Amino acid sequence: MNNPLGVFVSDSVWIAYTYNISLKQFKYDGSLIRVIYHPPEHKGALINPTDLVVHQDNIYVVDSGANSLVVFKKDGEFVTRIGNNGTLSSPHSVAAHEDVLAISDTGNDRVSVYDLSGKLLRVIGSFGAQPGKFNEPLGVAFDDFGRLYVVDSNNNRVQKFEKDGTNIGAWGDYGSSSGTFAQPVGVGVVDGKVYVADTLNHRMQAFELDGTYAFQFGRHPVNGHEGVGRTHYPYRIAGLKHSSILATVEPNENRVQIYDLNKVSELKSVDDDAWWGKGTKFHYGRRMIANASFVGISEPDTHAVLLFEQGKETDAPTFLTLLGGRGSRGGEFIQPSGLALKPDGSKLFVSDSGNRRLQTFTISEPTNLVQFGGPTGGPQSPPEVPQVTLAEVVSLDGDQLQSQIKRFSAPGQSSSFSPSGMRVGPDGRLYVIDPYNGRVAVLNESYEIIRTIGRNATIDETILRFPLDCWFPRGTEPVFPPRSEPPLSMVF
């Protein structure tokens, strides 16, 4: 398997692969039944498939890179696209019930509900933390009564809605104890229970339909890549209704695990202080920046930025300080991602993705303080340590920047901005990447948007598809990392 993201289970197992931009159908014994892949010039070509559901006579595939839901017949024949008229922005997950489809419209921080013909019926939610609002909605699932469950990932909760979109409940908070979450992603309803992929806690949690905690299973492998019921970043969940079958996708392990829920044993909540209270150890740092003096690493999992002072050529960097911790006050982060330094090293920029903002920290010259005590009892000179201080917080949802973002947005493009990678360009301007909307905002020193690069409204090879980083090898215009090469054409 090569980066599986979506899974659906029925009388067989369907898996969506984002790197191979294909769908595969398997028997439960693992033998391959069918591969669906269309080459780039085909109208049914996929760019970044992230989820799928097989409903009635069709396969509905979320193509996040093309901002659409692609409909195929079960034999792979292309039928149509839904939402590619600018109504969807980086959709993530899909669920079906009777004659409706629910799609997590992540780039717009809402859920879009369509009928099976592709007519938009309603949208649910907008950005925020209040009931009925979302901060990165991801997994969606229906129960037998047509009620909708949505994983509100950056708010670390599950929200529940009636058929008409009325919010009727929510549960969860940030943490590692039973009933709390750390960046959950997937959700599924199986045999009267709601199962949630609690991704950063490396476990699945089960709840009654009213949100009452029932049990959990999985937990991070004791030994790396252990499998056999242990889970490592469980991502998507799919269950066979009115059965005991549950499937989980683990992209980091390139695998899908299938459980018989009658046989899973509950694992106690271990280490309620959580693995992320771990000081200067690393856990999947997202970005790194460095100059002659500093090394900085962003860790979205721990909502922190770690700074190190460069040593001499033969010395390892020395830990300097940890910035952040989960929260929304100045100096706190939710899923920090991009880092950038001014060329003179005087400022550190952090893209605080979950809070939709940028934070700027000043790095001052070391202060050589004198302290008393130590082995000799007299004055001691501690090592000179640079001071890192919060200087400014710039909200990308504020009125001023929102008006600028709207002015530069393409038709149908969301004005919601989720900052990811960042670079300071040769022109001294700050290049902030918004992967969900396929664009880069260029800011001057006053944090005014002077232009944007890219858009994500139609299928065209010149358009940015979920950009994550850039660099400047040939002057003032950024270059973006290429996507992985597609596989050979195959439809059988």
Give the closest residue to 251 by CA, choosing from 460, 49, 472. Answer: 49
Tell me, what's the pLDDT at 175? Answer: 87
Order of strands, edge to edge, in the sheet holding 187-190? 187-190, 193-198, 203-208, 213-218
Tell me, what's the pLDDT at 319? Answer: 83
Rounded CA Rg of the chain = 23
Give dist(CA 284, CA 301) in Å, integer.
8
Check: CB of residue 385 under 8 Å from CB of residue 371. no
Give dist(CA 160, CA 211) in Å, integer.
9
- Annotate 273-322 with DSSP letters as a single string: T-TT--TT--S---EEEE-SSEEEEEEGGGTEEEEEE---TTS--EEEEE
- The position carrying tokens 């991801």 is 138
Domains contained in the chain, CATH given: 4-260 (2.120.10.30), 287-453 (2.130.10.10)
Mean pLDDT by 10 residues, the chain (492 residues): 88 91 93 93 92 96 93 95 89 96 95 96 95 96 97 96 97 91 95 93 93 86 61 90 89 90 63 48 68 85 86 74 90 92 89 91 65 46 68 78 71 72 91 85 89 62 70 82 45 36
Tell me, what's the pLDDT at 471? Answer: 85
Check: CB of residue 307 under 8 Å from CB of residue 321. yes
Check: CB of residue 195 under 8 Å from CB of residue 208. no
Amino acid, single-letter form, for residue 437 = N
- 242-272 burial code (b ≥16 CB/10 A, e <16): eeebbbbbbbebeebbebebeebeeeebeee
Three-state DSSP class for residue 354? helix
Tell me, what's the pLDDT at 114? Answer: 97
Tell me, what's the pLDDT at 130? Answer: 96
Tell me, what's the pLDDT at 157? Answer: 98
